[in-house]
Amino acid sequence: MKIAIITGGSRGLGKNAALHVAKKGIGIILTYNSNHEDANNVV
């Protein structure tokens, strides 16, 4: 299984990248700085 590490994944480009990669069936590790609620929404 492939896994991608996405930094800044709670909003903006990082969020879009995380959603795009996940739709392709690739597992993701998502990091964020301070917005826990937005990060949870992406996951």
Q: What is the pLDDT of residues 1-43, one digit of tens each?
A: 999 999 999 999 999 999 999 999 999 999 999 999 999 999 8
**DSSP character for 24?**
T
Q: What is the pLDDT of residues 14-24, one digit of tens each?
A: 999 999 999 99
Where exactly are the structural domains of the chain?
A: 1-24+35-39
